[in-house]
C-alpha cells in the first residue's frame, strides 16, 4: 500500500477514532528529543509529578508509599516520594495492576506480555499511554527516514490459534505490514516470503534479530540479497543483538541495522541513532539503573523504568529484569537524550558454578562464535550444561572440543559440557529465541544462593 494512503486514510484516523491525539503528542515528543539536557530534566520532573498524582488516585494498595504525605505537595516533596518508592518487580506490579482493575471513565486496551521469564503478565493500558508510546515510536523511526504508514516487513511470532492468526492478519493489513512467521523457517516458507517481499516492497524490516539474521543468512548462502528493495533501515527488537547478526543483515539488505530496546508494558525505552548509540526515549521514559537499590551512572546495574504518560495504573520504578548502563557521556550525533547500554541476558540468567560463583550468561555468546550459526545452552545441574548447536559450514568436532575446554576454564573443570548438534532450535511461544536457560532456577523459581542440589 502507498505510504501516504496508509498514513492519511488508515493510521491517523485510527488513532483519532481511538481518542489518541497523535498529532499533538508527536509534536511534544519531537520537542523533547530536540531539547537540551536541562530542558529534558525539567520536562521529566513535571511529568514525574503528574505520574505520582495519578498513582495517588489509584485504588491499588501498591501505591500506598506514594500516598503517605498529605502536607503541601511541592515538586520537591513529590520527587522525594518517588525516590523512596520501592523498585517494583514484575510480581509486585502484577498485584498492583490486578488491584487497580480496569481504568474507569476512560478508553483502555487489554495487553499481555509473552512472559519470557515464564510468567505471562496481563494489564490494561489507557489510550493516552498507548498513543504516547506510538508517538515516541514515530519520532524515533523518523531518525532513519521511516515515515508513519511506510510499509513494514515484520519478522515476528504468529498467533497459533486460527482466530488469533486472523486478527493478526487484519491488524497487519490496517498497519501496512507483511508478516513472516517466526515459527516457519522452512525453505518453502522462506522462498514464498522472498517473493512476497519483492511484491510488497517494504520501506523497513522490523522484528527479532535472530529471525532476520537467519533469513538473510540463507539468502546470502544462495548468493542472493535484498538490495533491490527500497529499504531505509532494519529495526531489530526483543532479543539481545549479536554483532554478527547485525553484520549479516546489513550485508544482505545494504541498509543500516537499528537496535530498539523496549517492552509491551511501556513501549520503546531505547532507540539507536545513526551513530549506533542507544538513546533513552526521555519523552516517555524516566530510566534508572539501580545497583544495590541506588541509581548509578556509567556502572552496570538493573534497568528500571517509570513511564511518564498514563492516566490509569502507572508503571513506576518497574524492573525489567535486564541489566544495563546509563551513560553520562553525550553522543556525537548531537542529541541530548541520554545514551544507555543493554547488557546481554536477563539478571535471572546466571550460570551457577560448582565453586558457588554466578557467571553471566553472555559467556556463551562470547565463546561460541565460529562454526556456530545458533545455539541454546541449558544448565540442568550445577555441574552439567547441555548445549544444542546448529552448526555452521565451518563447524568441526575439534572446534566443539575447544569450546568445551574454554567453557570449562571459565565455569570449572568438573562441569560437564554436553554438546549436541541439531537442525533447528525451537523458539519460545512468543517467537523469541533465548540462548540460555537456567533449568535449576526454573524449578525452584529462584537462583539458589549455594551450589548443590536446589
Could you list the residues that contact Zn ion (CB under 5 A)?
A: 273, 275, 277, 331, 333, 335
State how far the Cα of 212 lies from the Cα of 194, in Å rounded to an integer.
12
What number of H helices and E strands is found in the chain?
15, 20
Pick between residue 188 and residue 334 the one whose CB is nearest to Zn ion. Answer: 334
Smallest distance from Zn ion to CB 234, Å: 18
Pick between residue 84 and residue 298 the one whose CB is nearest to Zn ion. Answer: 298
Q: Enumerate the β-bridge partners of residue 301.
A: 324
DSSP label of 118:
S
Q: Closest Cα partner for 347 from 319, 315, 370?
A: 319
Smallest distance from Zn ion to CB 3, Å: 26
Pick between residue 139 and residue 316 the one whose CB is nearest to Zn ion. Answer: 139
Smallest distance from Zn ion to CB 279, Å: 6
- Residue keyed to cell 540468567: 349
Q: Closest Cα partner for 377 from 366, 362, 369, 388?
A: 388
Pick between residue 155 and residue 257 the one whose CB is nearest to Zn ion. Answer: 257
Pick between residue 312 and residue 335 the one whose CB is nearest to Zn ion. Answer: 335
Smallest distance from Zn ion to CB 37, Å: 13
Asked if 211 contacts 234 with a C-beta cutoff of 8 angstroms, the reply is no
State how far the Cα of 209 lies from the Cα of 207, in Å rounded to an integer.
6
Smallest distance from Zn ion to CB 275, Å: 5
Smallest distance from Zn ion to CB 335, Å: 5
For residue 258, the SS3 value is: strand
Smallest distance from Zn ion to CB 330, Å: 8
**To 5 degrees, how large is the angle CA 386–CA 215–CA 182?**
65
Containing H/E element for 41? Answer: helix 37-57
Smallest distance from Zn ion to CB 340, Å: 11
Pick between residue 326 and residue 331 the one whose CB is nearest to Zn ion. Answer: 331
Asked if 267 contacts 128 with a C-beta cutoff of 8 angstroms, the reply is no
Is residue 189 packed enough to be buried (19+ CB in 10 Å), middle (13-18) or exposed (0-12)? middle
Asked if 155 contacts 211 with a C-beta cutoff of 8 angstroms, the reply is yes
Q: How many CA atoms lie within 13 A of 450 on its CB side?
A: 3
State how far the Cα of 266 lies from the Cα of 285, in Å rounded to an integer.
8
Pick between residue 210 and residue 335 the one whose CB is nearest to Zn ion. Answer: 335
Smallest distance from Zn ion to CB 272, Å: 8
Can you give the three-state secondary structure of 197-256, one letter per residue? HHHHCCCEEEECHHHHHHHHHHHHHCCCCCCCCCCCEEEECCCCCCHHHHHHHHHHHCCC
Pick between residue 22 and residue 331 the one whose CB is nearest to Zn ion. Answer: 331
Smallest distance from Zn ion to CB 378, Å: 37
Pick between residue 335 and residue 438 the one whose CB is nearest to Zn ion. Answer: 335
Pick between residue 87 and residue 274 the one whose CB is nearest to Zn ion. Answer: 274
**To 5 degrees, how large is the angle CA 135–CA 148–CA 165?**
90
What is the DSSP pairing of strand 152-156 with strand 177-181?
Answer: parallel
State how far the Cα of 216 lies from the Cα of 209, in Å rounded to an integer.
10
Smallest distance from Zn ion to CB 187, Å: 39
Pick between residue 279 and residue 376 the one whose CB is nearest to Zn ion. Answer: 279
Amino acid at each position: 500500500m502507498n505510504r501516504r494512503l496508509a498514513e492519511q486514510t488508515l493510521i491517523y484516523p485510527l488513532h483519532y477514532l481511538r481518542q489518541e491525539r497523535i498529532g499533538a503528542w508527536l509534536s511534544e515528543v519531537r520537542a523533547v528529543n530536540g531539547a537540551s539536557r536541562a530542558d529534558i530534566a525539567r520536562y521529566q520532573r513535571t511529568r514525574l509529578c503528574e505520574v505520582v498524582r495519578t498513582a495517588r488516585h489509584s485504588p491499588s494498595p501498591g501505591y500506598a508509599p506514594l500516598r503517605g504525605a498529605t502536607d503541601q505537595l511541592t515538586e520537591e516533596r513529590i520527587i522525594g516520594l518517588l525516590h523512596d518508592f520501592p523498585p517494583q518487580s514484575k510480581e509486585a506490579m502484577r498485584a498492583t495492576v490486578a488491584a487497580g482493575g480496569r481504568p474507569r471513565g476512560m478508553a483502555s486496551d487489554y495487553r499481555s506480555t509473552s512472559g519470557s521469564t515464564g510468567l505471562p503478565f496481563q494489564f490494561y493500558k489507557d489510550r493516552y499511554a498507548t498513543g504516547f508510546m506510538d508517538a515516541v515510536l514515530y519520532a524515533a523511526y523518523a531518525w532513519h527516514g521511516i515515515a508513519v504508514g511506510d510499509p513494514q516487513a515484520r519478522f515476528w511470532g504468529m498467533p497459533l490459534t486460527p482466530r488469533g492468526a486472523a486478527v493478526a492478519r487484519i491488524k497487519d493489513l490496517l498497519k501496512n505490514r507483511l508478516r513472516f512467521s517466526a515459527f516457519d523457517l522452512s525453505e518453502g516458507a522462506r522462498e514464498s516470503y522472498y517473493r512476497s517481499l519483492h511484491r510488497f516492497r517494504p520501506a523497513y524490516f522490523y522484528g527479532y534479530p535472530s529471525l532476520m539474521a537467519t533469513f538473510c543468512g540463507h539468502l546470502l548462502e544462495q548468493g542472493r540479497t535484498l538490495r533491490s528493495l527500497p529499504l531505509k533501515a532494519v529495526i531489530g527488537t526483543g532479543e539481545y543483538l549479536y554483532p554478527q547478526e547485525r553484520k549479516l543483515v546489513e550485508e544482505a539488505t545494504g541498509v543500516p541495522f537499528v537496535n530498539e530496546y523496549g517492552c509491551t508494558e511501556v513501549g520503546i525505552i531505547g532507540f539507536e541513532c545513526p551513530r549506533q548509540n542507544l538513546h533513552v526515549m526521555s519523552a516517555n521514559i524516566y530510566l534508572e539503573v539501580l545497583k544495590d537499590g541506588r541509581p548509578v551512572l556509567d556502572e552496570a546495574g538493573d534497568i528500571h523504568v517509570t513511564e511518564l504518560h498514563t492516566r490509569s495504573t502507572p508503571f513506576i520504578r518497574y524492573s525489567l529484569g535486564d541489566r544495563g548502563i546509563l551513560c553520562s557521556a553525550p553522543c556525537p550525533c548531537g542529541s541530548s537524550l541520554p545514551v544507555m547500554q543493554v547488557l546481554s541476558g536477563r539478571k535471572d540468567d546466571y550460570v551457577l558454578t560448582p565453586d558457588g560463583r554466578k557467571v553471566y550468561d553472555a559467556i556463551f555468546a562470547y565463546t561460541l562464535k565460529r562454526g556456530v550459526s545458533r545455539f541454546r545452552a541449558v544448565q540442568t545441574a550445577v555441574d552439567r550444561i547441555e548445549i544444542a548447536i546448529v552448526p555452521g559450514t565451518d563447524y568441526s568436532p575439534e572446534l566443539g572440543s575447544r569450546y568445551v575446554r574454554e567453557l570449562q576454564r571459565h565455569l570449572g573443570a568438573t562441569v560437564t559440557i554436553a554438546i549436541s548438534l541439531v537442525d533447528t532450535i525451537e523458539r519460545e511461544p512468543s517467537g523469541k529465541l533465548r540462548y540460555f536457560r537456567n533449568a535449576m532456577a526454573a524449578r525452584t523459581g529462584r537462583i539458589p544462593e549455594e551450589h548443590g542440589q536446589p
